Amino acid sequence: MDCIFCKIVEGTIPSKKVFENEQVVAFHDIQPAAPVHILIIPKKHMASMNDVQEGDWALLGEVQRAAQTIAREQGVAESGYRLVNNCGKDAGQVVFHLHYHLLGGENLGPLLA
Ligand code: 5GP
Ligand code: ZN
């Protein structure tokens, strides 16, 4: 399958990983939009939030569990951070492998500026 993030999971495209377990992997965004900008993904391919199947909700819970851990490890748990999922065209989703952006390390301002 021609999916950049599946290739990152497989290791055929390099990435700066900050977290990995059986179900989830997280790595630095190649074009950071904040001092801390980590992408957190399920290893299982699903294109977007629209494609999450009934059996996948626990897996998305694991993605959020990873986000909590990563925020602590990146030192932004106390100062605060934003978890963002872009779904589809109007949200500007570019990579169609479900992912959350973890953004922090500065005052991010209002969500909708
Ligand atoms: P989206 O708009 O789909 O939510 O965001 C996709 C994100 O993936 C963007 O922030 C972009 O910089 C990041 N990205 C795209 N290709 C790569 C890549 O090959 N490696 C890494 N680490 N990040 C990528
Ligand atoms: Zn994929």
99 is catalytic: yes
Mean pLDDT over all residues of the chain? 97
24-28 and 100-104 as β-strands: parallel, antiparallel, unpaired?
Answer: unpaired
pLDDT for the residue numbered 64: 98
- Does 112 fall in a domain? no
Locate the ligand 1 atom nearest the alpha carbon of residue 96 and give its number.
3
Locate the ligand 1 atom nearest the alpha carbon of residue 33 and give its number.
10
- Does 110 fall in a domain? no
- Does 109 fall in a domain? no
Q: How many domains does the chain have?
A: 1
Whole domain around residue 36: which residue ranges?
Answer: 4-104
- Does 64 fall in a domain? yes
2-11 per-position pLDDT tens digit: 999 999 999 9
- Does 113 fall in a domain? no
Nearest CA, atom 21, ligand 1: 30
What value, to the nearest 5°, has the Cα angle with vertex 94 and ends 88 and 98? 65
32 contacts 108 by C-beta, under 8 angstroms: no
- Does 95 fall in a domain? yes
- Does 111 fall in a domain? no
Q: Is 12 in the pocket of ligand 1 (CB under 6 A)?
A: no
pLDDT band of residue 30 (cuts 50, 70, 90) is very high
- Does 63 fall in a domain? yes
- 73: domain CATH number is 3.30.428.10
Provide the residue type at 46 as one letter. Answer: M
35-80 per-position pLDDT tens digit: 999 999 999 999 999 999 999 999 999 999 999 999 999 999 999 9
